[in-house]
Amino acid sequence: MILIENVHKRYTTEHGVGEWVLRGVDMAIPSKQSVALIGKNGAGKSTLLRIIGGIDFPTKGRVERRCRVSWPMGAGGLEGTLTGKQNAKFVCRAHGHQNELTDRLAFIQDFAELGDAFNAPVRTYSSGMRSRLQFALSLAFNFDVYISDEVTSAGDARFRKKAHDAFKNMANRASVIMVSHDETTLKQFCQSAIWIDGGRAHWFDKIDDALKVYKDKILS
- Domains of the chain plus CATH, in order, are 1-68+146-220 (3.40.50.300), 80-141 (no CATH)
Is the CB of residue 196 less than 8 Å from the CB of residue 35? no
Q: What's the pLDDT tens digit per position in 136-169? A: 888 888 889 998 887 655 556 787 788 878 878 8
> What are residue 36's DSSP bridge partners?
178, 193
Residues 216 and 127: their CA atoms lie apart, in Å, by 36
Residues 94 and 1: their CA atoms lie apart, in Å, by 23
Crossing angle of helices 157-171 and 127-139, rounded to 10°: 20
Per-residue burial over 116-137, b = 16 or more CB atoms within 10 Å of its CB, e = otherwise: ebbeeebeebeeebbbbbbbbb
User: For residue 75, which of 190, 178, 195, 192 has the smallest C-alpha distance?
Assistant: 178
Q: Along the 220 residues of the chain, how does pLDDT read in single tens digits?
A: 999 999 999 999 888 888 999 999 999 999 889 999 999 999 999 999 999 998 899 999 999 999 999 887 766 668 999 999 999 999 888 877 778 899 999 999 999 999 999 999 999 999 888 888 988 888 888 889 998 887 655 556 787 788 878 878 887 889 999 998 889 989 989 999 999 999 999 999 999 999 999 999 887 7
